[in-house]
């Protein structure tokens, strides 16, 4: 590799390492994400179809080495795992769980109730009572299948509008707001030991944050178990602010629940119309201005990305007692959904591993940050 290509890595390490004491690596504990963060929180990744099927042994080995938790990117969503009313497709989900067990990982299920990527047969049910019964069976059957094997679930995904009110989803229209509490109740009755989460994007925004807190508190006030709130970290180089991220963690933790950063990626590309979040129904037309790094990421942006990850992980480490899991939404840049959202056909660089599964400057930066954090703790 040419020295020029190493520049972002060297710069990023230098930025976080100034003033850092030496920390010796144990020969039995190489400096992987999994090992370095093992005393802080689970470090996870969302896996795609090929990764779950272990089509590349080198990639599979990297996943097992670097991550202590996994989430299925798509194969456990309704349209894939329950395509027909009387037909479940458990094959891929079984492989996903088996992979996690093989590498002794924390296994997270995504997702039981979501209005998007919903099986068409749900929409064909007109009677509200029949719809509620079908929804209950969907939840109970899937949780039963993986009882004792999946350690946590996104029970309900993206049920809120940006102003904190409930989204007019098919579940709200057919079942009323009771569908929220009922979904958590059904899952907890089947597997009382699994952790149950509410998961959503833009959870750092004040109005949505307040709505999420009201909603979760309302469920808990009924004596129904909610173990955690998932903050989807679909963030950018400049926003949300670190203050918004930190205050959100504090506010959710005040409920007495765990906080998970569930879908972390940092877009480096221009954002059309200041779009925030992950509303997948939105798409914009591609153009040169919105896709500036087709040939590769400039060193200056590589360093900005590393610094952004460093600053965010400083917040995470400061509040590691409140955070259960940090999950990247993908393993490498080529896999990222941000290559197609909110503009199709772009080239984005939001994760810690590049398109060849090589660690980027951001990877080295947060490893160095965690070592410095541990060194400072041990010296106090």
Please list, in sequence order, all residues whose beta carbon lies within 8 angstroms of the beta carbon of residue 163, skipping any fewer than 6 positions away.
207, 208, 211
Percent of the chain with pLDDT over 90: 86
**What is residue 288's predicted lDDT score, i.e. its pLDDT?**
81
pLDDT at 281: 52
- The two tokens of residue 343 are 């503009």
Give the C-alpha separation, 198 to 167, whole Å.
14
Q: What is the mean pLDDT of the chain?
A: 92
Give the pLDDT confidence of 333-363 residue by residue, as tens digits: 999 999 998 889 999 999 999 999 999 999 9
Q: Which of 266, 278, 273 has the alpha carbon at shortest distance from 341?
A: 278
Domain 3-19+30-379 in CATH 3.40.30.10: no
Considering only CA atoms, which of 359, 319, 339 is closest in space to residue 265?
339
- Length of the chain counted residue by residue: 380
Is the pLDDT at 375 greater than 70? The verdict is: yes
Rounded to the nearest 10°, the torsion over CA 117, 119, 124, 125 is -110
E strands, 121-174, are 152-157
Contacts of 357 by beta carbon, 8 Å cutoff, 6+ apart: 58, 59, 62, 331, 332
Q: In angstroms, rounded to a whole number, what is the distance separating the alpha carbons of residues 59 and 69? A: 15
pTM higher than 0.85, yes or no? yes
The percentage of the chain sitting over the pLDDT mark of 70, rounded to a whole number, equals: 89
Choose the catalytic residue: 66, 101, 130, 158. 158
pLDDT at residue 22, rounded to an integer: 40
- Mean pLDDT (whole number) for 216-222: 98
Place 308 in a pLDDT band, splitting at 50, 70 and 90. very high
- In tens, the pLDDT along 98-156 reads 999 999 999 999 999 999 999 999 999 999 999 999 999 999 999 999 999 999 999 99
Q: How far, in Å, CA of 167 to CA of 71, rounded?
A: 25
Kindly name the residue from 102, 263, 356, 376 that is annotated as catalytic: 263
Told to judge if 101 belongs to the known catalytic residues of this protein, a careful annotator would answer: no
Q: For residue 201, what are the CA distances in angstroms to 57, 162, 164, 298?
A: 33, 9, 12, 29
Q: Binning pLDDT at 50, 70 and 90, where does residue 283 land?
A: low
CA distances from 213 to 62, 182, 252, 326 (A): 37, 17, 7, 20
| pLDDT greater than 90 at residue 380 | no
Please name the residues in contact with 204: beta carbons below 8 A apart, sequence gap of 6 or more: 231, 240, 244, 245, 247, 248
- Known active-site residue 158: yes
């Amino acid at each position: 590799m040419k020295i020029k290509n190493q520049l972002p890595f060297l710069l990023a390490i230098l930025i976080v390492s100034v003033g850092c004491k030496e920390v010796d690596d144990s020969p039995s504990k190489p400096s992987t994400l999994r090992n370095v963060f093992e005393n802080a929180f689970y470090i996870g990744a969302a896996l795609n179809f090929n990764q779950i099927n272990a089509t590349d042994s080198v990639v599979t080995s990297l996943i097992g080495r670097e991550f202590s938790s996994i989430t299925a990117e798509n194969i456990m969503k309704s349209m894939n795992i329950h395509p027909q009313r009387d037909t479940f497709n458990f094959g891929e989900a079984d492989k996903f769980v088996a992979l996690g067990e093989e590498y002794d990982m924390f296994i997270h299920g995504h997702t039981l109730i979501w209005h998007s990527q919903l099986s068409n047969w749900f929409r064909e049910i007109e009677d509200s009572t029949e719809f509620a019964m079908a929804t209950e069976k969907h939840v109970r059957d899937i949780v039963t299948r993986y009882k004792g094997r999946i350690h946590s679930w996104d029970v309900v995904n993206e049920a809120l509008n940006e102003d904190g009110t409930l989204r007019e989803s098919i579940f709200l229209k057919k079942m009323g707001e009771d569908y929220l509490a009922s979904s958590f109740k059904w899952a907890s009755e089947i597997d009382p030991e699994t952790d149950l989460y509410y998961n959503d994007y833009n959870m750092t925004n004040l109005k949505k944050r307040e709505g999420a807190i009201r909603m979760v508190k309302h469920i808990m006030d009924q004596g129904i178990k909610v173990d955690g709130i998932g903050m989807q970290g679909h963030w950018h180089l400049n926003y949300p602010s670190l203050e918004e991220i930190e205050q959100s963690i504090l506010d959710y933790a005040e409920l007495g629940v765990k906080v998970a950063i569930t879908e972390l990626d940092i877009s480096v590309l221009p954002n059309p119309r200041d779009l925030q979040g992950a509303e997948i129904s939105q798409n914009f037309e591609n153009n040169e201005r919105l896709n500036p790094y087709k040939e590769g990421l400039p060193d200056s942006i590589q360093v900005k990305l590393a610094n952004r990850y460093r600053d965010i992980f400083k917040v995470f480490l400061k509040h590691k007692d409140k955070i259960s899991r940090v999950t990247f939404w993908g393993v490498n840049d080529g896999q990222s959904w941000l290559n197609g959202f909110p503009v199709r056909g772009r080239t984005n660089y939001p994760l810690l591993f590049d398109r060849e599964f090589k660690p980027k400057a951001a990877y080295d930066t947060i490893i160095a940050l965690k070592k410095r954090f541990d060194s400072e703790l041990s010296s106090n």
